[in-house]
Structure 1
């Protein structure tokens, strides 16, 4: 089973929660169009795969806490639950939304257009979670994520990740 991930920008957590309350299918789906400006990035989870991209851009070693996301939804853990979760428990079934740290947004926003190929190839080499990916194939995704981060920074917004199984 794959993980669906969408990256999007929003003013704050309250705006995300209000918009996603009624939006089935995620932040990039809506009756008249996308709920938020964002990028579909199937399989690019924030902690591992996006973290590997951030490590390549910063020229540092990857670490599980490199992205530093903050959970936005579900908002509170279930109170003292014992045994397996029921099928309607969002903590077990998702979707989940996390706000990414501003340093991640700024790292992606500062990526120069001319440097996309230099980043995409080593990212493909480290991203075992994206089988068959190569630098040329990942270059458009790097470009989209960088553009999204630039728009978020220009608007004073944060980047968010929506995940669903």
Structure 2
């Protein structure tokens, strides 16, 4: 089972929550009726794999704090430490949407186009990418950079939609 991951831009969390309710949690960026401009990036989870891209762009070692996220969906409180969420609880089943720290958006937006192939070559060595080639990853990175630039230009934030 793979993890589905989409990145998109939106004005604010309220817009995202409205869209999640209207679309009943379905993906917000694919298909004819995309709600937001975004990038389908299956398996590119925010903290690890996107974090590795951020590390490659910044030319720093990966660390868990490179991609800070704020959860915006589900809107119900996360279950406490007394036990796991019920099987039908959205915290157990997803989808989940988080707002990425503006520093992530800005790092992507500031990526140098000329340096991106070398950056992606470093990113492709990330263990979690399971041997994906830099050639296959370059269009994903370019799309994320373009999305981040548009988000910053329009004073929007980047969000990550994830589902199992």
Same fold (TM over 0.5): yes
Aligned twin of 1:143: 142
8 Å CA contact 2:117–2:134 kept in 1: the answer is: yes
Which residue of structure 1 aligns with residue 122 of structure 2? 122
Give the deviation of 1:113 after TM superposition: 1.6
RMSD of aligned residue pairs (Cα, Å): 1.6
Residue in 1 aligned with 2:151?
152
Give the conservation status (yes or no) of the 8 Å contact 2:30–2:40.
Answer: no
Q: Which residue is equivalent to 2:133?
A: 134
Normalised by the length of structure 1, the TM-score is 0.92
SS in 2 for 1:99: strand
Once residues 60 and 81 of structure 1 are traced to their aligned partners in structure 2, the CA distance between those partners, rounded to angstroms, is 34
The TM-score normalised by the length of structure 2 is 0.93
Partner residue in 2 for 1:5: 5
Name segments (4+ residues, structure 1) moved above 3 Å. 78-84
Contact 1:48–1:64 (CA under 8 A) maintained in structure 2: yes
2:43 maps to which residue?
Answer: 43
Q: What 5-or-longer segments of structure 1 have no aligned partner? A: none
Matches within 5 A, 1:1-165: 1-24=1-24, 25-29=26-30, 32-78=32-78, 82-125=82-125, 127-165=126-164
Shift of 1:80: 5.2
